[in-house]
């Protein structure tokens, strides 16, 4: 059987000790965030992404070994398991290879070949395949196998049945299929054409497409799959059948045999009727799997950047969810996201009540000490932005405004969670609250929305939904645990992503907090119903208690390391209370030889360095390294754009062929990958990420189709 340990060592370029320790930790029920953060000595400092990849691969290889054992048993039960076949199955390193080897032994539905076998024609097929020069004349040999009762009354009919058996036998041969699969992958061409006469077909760019399997990009695979599913495209995998048959003939047919011509016809039938259609489905399936995998990876990367967007601290916000007929819903939030007030204004058509809207905004801003206005970028956003900009200029108030991406806000506002938080408010007002909180703390608010509804990927509705949800949940979990969570302010949605907790325990934590007041010590978590020692060990280091009894509770140091942390503080002459006043930036210099200190305190050097980092800057938020929100813009309509204009915008989405940039004109502009840099760019993610603030120049404006082409290379404008 496959040596899983050795396979993981080779694939991830890790030592035997790293792999064995990591596998033991995973098997022990430890979460990936916990292993990555608090078991660096055991793993050798393997990062979060590698650990997740290893965990996934470990599960695959174990499942593969289980399948091998099952296949061996099934074949052995038939009395057909040879020593050679056993070795082939045991040495297989992919599930595809195992299934190829098992294919001849699978129970099949009724086929032409099975009917021929039932008529006793297998010996005749064996004679033809043996291609013995002394076999005699084909019709004469076949005469001994006629079976009128089973539908083979003549020698020609018997030969036909025997050739059906040969065609299926060849199609079931793992060796032949492996060679032809490789040929199809290397020489195949994906071709698409129009499936109807619709001149306005949005898939017209794919009419006449012919692209090698080896070169077609994932996003194009997903696009033609969608067109085919909608009945707008015909898609075919084209191969050179003549060359493929040449390969098959070379492997099977002997020159000069009496049955050579019959055998060649059986091979032709086998390839065209059985092998080619099967390989077309398989290769197209592989292309789709690869495209989905790449799309999910891109979605995950974009989501990670979005979740790591910098919070706008100290923001007292007026959040506006724009609209036309029903007006713009307004929510007023304090610095912690608490709802202070709400209203409706009508700066957009059909009412266009600019004066009344300005009066209400001034009242709310003055009454609640507002310093930022957040405007959703949905329907009516540009008109609302214009009204807000004019209001700020006229009022003279010290207020800035910014645009907030609305993707997913409607999903949250209509959710059970939103109705539980604000049962007396309508969905649009809840949406405005969510927009304001997105500005204040993007991570805390976005975790309330199903990740795939946030809109930072491509073709997300065409992807494997199970795989997409799993991958995106991992991203959210990774980011939440990297940032850390305030135990006394976090919602159940946020707590649910903390390592070792989950939705049920998260609700229990919130219920305990509401019943007993704020947590003052991490160890109070042990009093939460159903939160035992195991869960505490996994989650405690990621939960912060600010202003509690123990200053270390506000850091990322794990409670298991508190004795070492206290010894470090003692040796450095730092009182624990100093941690609440900005930390001890020079603590590493004060403690001296770190290797010796690690040995004396009983923790590894990686853990010691992490403790020192936490003491130096307790509660540091990694999101503070991200660019701040972009405030106030001068161009608000596509009519204001002209080629050559320089603009500042925010990357809203990164896809395989470019990036979409919000430049404040309602429609996002596209920077094609070819216009991202003067150098060659393999993928847009090499240059930009979601949330980046970028300088772009307008290349083209198609007002009729509402399309904006941008460039990040000034000379191309």
Alpha-carbon distances, residue 252 vs 165, 308, 430, 459 (angstroms):
15, 59, 70, 44
How buried is residue 394: exposed, middle or buried, by Cβ count under 10 Å (0-12/13-18/19+)?
A: exposed
Comparing 133-137, 186-190, 405-409, 591-595, the range with the smallest average pLDDT is 133-137
Helix H or strand E segment including 375: strand 372-376
Q: Facing residues of 152 across strands?
A: 147
Comparing 104-108, 176-180, 627-631, the range with the smallest average pLDDT is 627-631
Looking at 490-594, which runs of residues are DSSP E strands? 543-544
Predicted local distance difference test score (pLDDT) of residue 666: 73
Instruction: Note the pLDDT tens digit of each residue in 442-470.
Output: 999 999 988 878 877 777 888 888 888 89
CA dihedral 100, 105, 110, 111 (to 10 degrees): 50
636: pLDDT strictly greater than 70: no
Q: At what angle do helices 260-269 and 122-130 cross, to 10 degrees?
A: 110
Please, are residues 677 and 712 in contact by the beta-carbon 8 Å criterion? yes
Predicted local distance difference test score (pLDDT) of residue 622: 86
| Residues in the chain, total | 717
Q: Where are the domains of the chain?
A: 4-105, 119-298, 317-440, 492-624, 638-716
DSSP 172-209: H-HHHHHHHHHHHHHH-EEEEEESS--TT-TTGGGTTE
- Tell me the two tokens of residue 216: 């077609």
Q: What confidence tier does 602 reach under pLDDT thresholds 50, 70, 90?
A: confident
| pTM beyond cutoff 0.75 | yes
Task: Please report how many Cα atoms fall inside a 13 Å half-sphere around the Cα of residue 359, on the Cβ side.
Answer: 5
638-716: what fold?
OB fold (Dihydrolipoamide Acetyltransferase, E2P) (2.40.50)
CA dihedral 383, 385, 390, 394 (to 10 degrees): 140
583: pLDDT strictly greater than 80: no
Predicted local distance difference test score (pLDDT) of residue 513: 96
Instruction: Note the pLDDT tens digit of each residue in 671-706.
Output: 999 999 989 999 999 999 988 889 999 999 998 888
For the chain, give the mean pLDDT. Answer: 91
Mean pLDDT across 548-552: 93
Measured between its terminal Cα atoms, the distance across the chain in Å is 60
| Coil vs helix vs strand at 117 | helix
Cis-peptide, bond into residue 350, ω within 30° of zero: yes
Predicted local distance difference test score (pLDDT) of residue 552: 94
Core vs surface per residue 91-104: b (16+ CB within 10 A) or e: ebeeeebbebbbeb
57: pLDDT strictly greater than 80: yes
Core vs surface per residue 50-80: b (16+ CB within 10 A) or e: bbbebbeebeebeebeebbeebbeebeeeee
717: pLDDT strictly greater than 70: no
Predicted local distance difference test score (pLDDT) of residue 659: 94
Which CATH code fits 119-298? 1.10.3500.10
Core vs surface per residue 208-225: b (16+ CB within 10 A) or e: ebebebeebebbbbbbbb
- Tell me the two tokens of residue 285: 């399936």
Q: Whose structure tokens read 């140091």? A: 557
Instruction: Note the pLDDT tens digit of each residue in 236-288.
Output: 999 999 999 999 999 999 876 788 899 999 999 999 999 999 999 999 999 99
Q: Facing residues of 697 across strands?
A: 646, 711
**Distance (Å, whole) CA 416 – CA 420:** 6
582: pLDDT strictly greater than 80: no
Q: Which long-range contacts (CB under 8 A, 24 or more apart) does 379-383 make?
A: 379/322, 379/323, 379/324, 380/322, 380/323, 380/324, 380/328, 380/348, 381/322, 381/666, 382/636, 382/637, 382/664, 382/665, 382/666, 383/322, 383/347, 383/348, 383/349
Neighbours of 390 (CB within 10 A): 14
Q: What confidence tier does 134 reach under pLDDT thresholds 50, 70, 90?
A: low
Which residues lie below 8 Å from residue 405, measured CB to CB, with a gap of 6+? Answer: 377, 438, 455, 652, 662
Mean pLDDT across 657-662: 92
- Tell me the two tokens of residue 104: 């001849």
Alpha-carbon distances, residue 410 vs 219, 372, 532, 669 (angstroms):
27, 22, 37, 23
Instruction: Note the pLDDT tens digit of each residue in 507-542.
Output: 999 999 999 999 999 999 999 999 999 999 999 999
Which CATH code fits 492-624? 1.10.150.310
| Residue 271 DSSP one-character state | I
Helix H or strand E segment including 358: helix 354-368
- Tell me the two tokens of residue 255: 């020159």
| Residue 631 DSSP one-character state | B
4-105: what fold?
Arc Repressor Mutant, subunit A (1.10.10)
Please, are residues 411 and 453 in contact by the beta-carbon 8 Å criterion? yes
The bridge status of strand 543-544 relative to strand 646-655 is unpaired
Bigger pLDDT: 75 or 617? 75
User: How far, in whole angstroms, is CA 32 from its chain's centroid?
Assistant: 17
Looking at 605-657, which runs of residues are DSSP E strands? 646-655
317-440: what fold?
Nucleotidyltransferase; domain 5 (3.30.420)
Alpha-carbon distances, residue 253 vs 132, 161, 173, 272, 274 (angstroms):
11, 19, 15, 17, 18
Instruction: Note the pLDDT tens digit of each residue in 342-354.
Output: 999 999 999 999 9
Helix H or strand E segment including 690: none
The bridge status of strand 400-404 relative to strand 189-194 is unpaired
**Distance (Å, whole) CA 501 – CA 523:** 15
Predicted local distance difference test score (pLDDT) of residue 137: 85
């Amino acid at each position: 059987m496959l040596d899983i340990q050795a396979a993981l060592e080779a694939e991830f370029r890790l030592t035997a000790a790293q792999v064995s320790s990591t596998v033991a930790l995973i098997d022990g029920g430890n979460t990936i965030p916990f292993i990555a953060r608090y078991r660096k000595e055991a793993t050798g400092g393997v990062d979060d992404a590698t650990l997740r990849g290893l965990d996934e691969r470990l599960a695959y290889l174990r499942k593969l070994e289980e399948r091998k054992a099952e296949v061996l048993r099934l074949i052995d039960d038939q009395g057909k398991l040879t020593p050679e076949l056993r070795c082939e199955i045991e040495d297989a390193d992919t599930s595809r290879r195992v299934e190829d080897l098992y294919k001849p032994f699978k129970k099949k539905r009724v086929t032409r070949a099975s009917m021929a076998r039932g008529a006793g024609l297998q010996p005749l097929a064996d004679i033809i395949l043996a291609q013995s020069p002394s076999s005699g004349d084909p019709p004469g040999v076949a005469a001994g196998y006629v079976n009128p009762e089973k539908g083979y009354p003549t020698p020609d009919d018997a030969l036909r049945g025997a050739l059906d058996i040969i065609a299926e036998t060849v199609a079931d041969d793992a060796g032949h299929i492996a060679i032809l699969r490789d040929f199809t992958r290397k020489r195949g061409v994906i071709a698409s054409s129009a499936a109807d006469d619709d001149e306005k077909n949005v898939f017209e760019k794919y009419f006449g497409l012919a692209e090698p399997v080896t070169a077609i990009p994932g996003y194009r695979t997903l696009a033609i799959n969608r067109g085919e599913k909608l009945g707008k495209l015909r898609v075919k995998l084209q191969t050179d059948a003549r060359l493929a048959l040449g390969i098959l003939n070379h492997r099977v047919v002997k020159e000069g045999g009496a049955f050579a011509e019959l055998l060649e016809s059986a091979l032709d039938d086998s390839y065209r009727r059985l092998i080619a259609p099967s390989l077309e489905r398989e290769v197209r399936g592989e292309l789709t799997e690869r495209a989905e995998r790449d799309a999910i990876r891109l979605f995950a990367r974009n989501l990670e950047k979005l979740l790591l967007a910098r919070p706008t601290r100290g923001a007292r916000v007026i959040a506006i969810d724009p609209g036309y007929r029903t007006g713009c819903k307004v929510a007023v939030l304090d610095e912690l996201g608490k709802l202070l007030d709400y209203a409706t204004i009508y700066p957009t058509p059909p009412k266009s009540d600019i004066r009344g809207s300005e009066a209400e905004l001034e009242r709310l801003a003055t009454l609640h000490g507002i310093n930022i206005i957040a405007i959703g970028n949905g329907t009516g956003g540009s008109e609302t932005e214009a009204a807000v900009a004019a209001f700020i200029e006229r009022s003279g108030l010290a207020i800035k405004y910014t645009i907030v991406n609305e993707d997913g806000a409607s999903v949250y506002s209509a959710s059970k969670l939103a109705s539980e938080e604000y049962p007396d408010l309508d969905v649009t007002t809840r949406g405005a609250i969510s927009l304001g909180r997105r500005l204040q703390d993007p991570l805390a608010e976005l975790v309330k929305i199903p990740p795939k509804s946030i809109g930072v990927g491509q073709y997300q509705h065409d992807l494997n939904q199970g795989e997409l949800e799993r991958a995106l949940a991992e991203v959210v979990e990774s980011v939440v645990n990297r940032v850390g969570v305030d135990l006394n302010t976090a919602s159940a949605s946020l707590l649910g992503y903390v390592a070792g907790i989950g939705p049920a325990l998260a609700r229990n934590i919130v219920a305990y907090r509401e019943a007993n007041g704020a947590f003052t010590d991490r160890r109070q978590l042990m009093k939460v119903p159903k939160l035992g020692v195991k869960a505490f060990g996994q989650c405690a280091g990621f939960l912060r208690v600010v202003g509690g009894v123990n200053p270390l509770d506000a850091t990322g140091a794990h409670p298991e390391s508190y004795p070492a942390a206290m010894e470090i503080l003692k040796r450095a002459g730092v009182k624990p209370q100093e941690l609440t006043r900005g930390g001890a930036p020079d603590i590493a210099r004060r403690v001296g030889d770190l290797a010796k200190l690690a040995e004396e305190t009983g923790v590894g050097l990686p853990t010691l360095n992490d403790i020192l980092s936490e003491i130096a800057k307790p509660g540091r938020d990694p999101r503070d390294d991200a660019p701040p929100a972009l405030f106030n813009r001068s161009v608000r309509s596509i009519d204001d754009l002209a080629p050559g204009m320089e603009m500042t915008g925010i990357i809203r989405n990164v896809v395989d062929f470019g990036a979409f940039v919000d430049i404040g004109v309602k429609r996002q502009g596209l920077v094609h990958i070819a216009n991202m840099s003067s150098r060659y760019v393999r993928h847009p993610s090499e240059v930009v990420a979601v949330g980046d603030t970028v300088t772009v120049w307008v290349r083209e404006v198609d007002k009729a189709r509402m399309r904006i082409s941008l460039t990040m290379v000034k000379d191309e404008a």
